[in-house]
């Protein structure tokens, strides 16, 4: 006889998520996250990212089934109290490979930070950023003058990347998006689509006069000198979706929204 997977329940601080948590705990049994084979997350996309980052920090990765009690809920399933066991048994898994950014600061510090959606470089002051862009150790843009630039995964391509007019990438495409944010020079450059084996490196030109921060999802490092971004294949994440509303379906549908 196959044992039932042990489930943990986590919820965002939002009142709707807390109320849903109470209803679920009254109806089903849950364990602590460190004991679980699966996590159910209640909230929005931001809380889903927090949950995934917490697993990366704990170095204990289990599948996550999210239910939307936030705003957009792109990474989440519909909230329903009923038939939870049946939904989990039928859920379709999707593997998401996070990015890993390695940041060198002006002061000589180094940080290694995961990002599930995107890594963004952003100007810190009224001065535009000036960046040298390397792709696999080759300089492709000697000087990019812009408000910023980002590297996005397929799962994150419909988030900040899409708002910056970057491309939507199908899940499983083996690609990542390199997208400028308000580019000034070269004015006609609109970004690139790169194989996910690519290593992208940004060197900040004149980091004292034109300071730049680097953001991996929700974690920021200020006054950076250089940033390297690549896919981290050592820590794949698993998201679970109802079969009728899967992540690849949502990504495809975004391409036809007017």
Can you give 115-136 as a three-state secondary structure string? ECCEEEEEECCCCCEEEEEEEC
Alpha helices in the chain (DSSP H): 15-27, 45-58, 84-90, 160-163, 247-254
Report which of 169, 174, 171 is spatially closest to residue 247, judged by C-alpha positions. 171
Rounded Cα distance between 102 and 180, Å, is 19
**Tens digit of each residue's pLDDT (9 = 90 or more) over 230-245:** 999 999 999 999 998 7
Q: Is 155 annotated as a binding residue?
A: yes
The answer to whether the annotation marks 162 as part of a ligand binding site is yes
Instruction: Please tell me the least confidently modeled range out of 90-104, 138-152, 241-255.
Output: 241-255
Look at residues 223, 230, 238, 131 and name the one whose alpha carbon lies nearest to residue 180.
131
* CB contact set of 127 (below 8 Å; sequence gap of 6+): 209, 210
Candidate list 37, 45, 248, 249, residue with the active-site label: 45
The residue ranges of every structural domain in the chain are 7-97+236-254, 99-231
**pLDDT score for 1:** 47
pTM of the model: 0.89
Q: Is 68 annotated as a binding residue?
A: no
Is 158 annotated among the ligand-binding residues?
yes
Sign of CA dihedral 227, 190, 159, 156: negative
Q: Under CATH, to which class is 99-231 assigned?
A: mainly beta
The pLDDT score that the predictor gives to residue 128 is 96
CA dist list (Å): 77 to 56, 68, 87, 165, 239: 22, 6, 10, 26, 10
The reported pLDDT for the residue numbered 254 is 74
CA distance 239 to 65: 6
Topology of 7-97+236-254 in CATH?
A: Rossmann fold (3.40.50)
45 flagged as catalytic? yes
Interatomic CA distance for residues 51 and 120, integer angstroms: 20
For residue 40, what pLDDT band results from cuts at 50, 70 and 90?
very high
Encoding tokens for residue 23? 């209803």
The answer to whether 98 touches 56, Cβ cutoff 8 Å, is yes
């Amino acid at each position: 006889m196959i044992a039932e997977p042990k489930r943990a329940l986590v919820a965002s601080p939002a009142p709707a998520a807390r109320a849903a948590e109470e209803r679920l705990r009254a109806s089903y049994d849950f364990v602590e996250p460190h004991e679980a084979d699966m996590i159910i997350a209640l909230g929005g996309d931001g809380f889903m990212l927090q949950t995934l980052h917490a697993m990366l920090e704990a170095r204990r990765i289990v599948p996550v089934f999210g239910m939307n009690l936030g705003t957009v809920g792109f990474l989440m399933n519909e909230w329903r109290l009923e038939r939870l066991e049946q939904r989990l048994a039928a859920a379709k898994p999707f593997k998401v490979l996070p990015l890993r950014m390695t940041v060198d600061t002006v002061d000589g510090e180094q940080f290694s930070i995961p990002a599930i959606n995107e890594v963004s470089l952003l100007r810190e002051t009224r001065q535009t950023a000036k960046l040298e862009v390397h792709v696999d150790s080759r300089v492709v843009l000697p000087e990019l003058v812009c408000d910023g630039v980002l590297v996005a995964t397929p799962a994150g391509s419909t988030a900040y990347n899409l708002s910056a007019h970057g491309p939507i990438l199908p899940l499983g495409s083996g690609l990542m998006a390199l997208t400028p944010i308000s580019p000034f020079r070269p004015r006609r450059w609109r970004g690139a689509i790169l194989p996910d084996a690519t290593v992208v490196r940004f060197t900040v030109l004149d980091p004292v006069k034109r300071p730049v921060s680097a953001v991996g999802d929700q974690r920021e490092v200020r006054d950076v000198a250089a940033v390297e971004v690549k896919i981290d294949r050592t820590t794949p994440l698993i998201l679970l979706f109802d079969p009728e509303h899967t992540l690849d379906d949502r990504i495809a549908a975004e391409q036809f929204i007017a």
